[in-house]
Amino acid sequence: MSSDVLIPLKRIEIVVDEDSVEKLLDLLHAANVRGYTVIKHAGGLGSRGERRPDDYALQERNALVILACDEKQAERIVTALRTRLKEFGGMCLVSDCNWVVGASGSY
């Protein structure tokens, strides 16, 4: 596809404990992130054990934050996040993606 249809960006996916979402969003705002998606009540298995969003007895929940940005901003985000990731718990994935040109972008 041509460059007038797709814009190459970095996709960042961050999984943190729900209690850390606000601190993570503060970090993203400080890095001038213009858009992101937060999905609360995410489940899975990781370094903190299994998280089941439908378990009412043990309400340990994760949140997934997804965003797309240029490479420079991705570097700033990862650098800032790396020092805080142990505090937040969870993980961060960075991959290449393409933004489909449409309405004004938040990348």
Q: Could you tell me the domains of the chain? A: 6-100 (3.30.70.120)
Look at residue 97 in the predicted model and tell me its pLDDT. Answer: 96
Is the distance from CB of 17 to CB of 89 less than 8 angstroms?
yes
**pTM of the complete model:** 0.82
Numbers of helices and strands, H then E, in the chain: 3, 6
| Alpha carbon distances (Å) from 26 to 2, 6, 84, 93, 103 | 35, 29, 12, 19, 26
Q: What is the mean pLDDT of each run of 10 residues along the chain (107 residues)?
A: 83 92 94 92 62 58 91 94 85 94 68
Alpha carbon distance 33, 30 (integer Å): 8
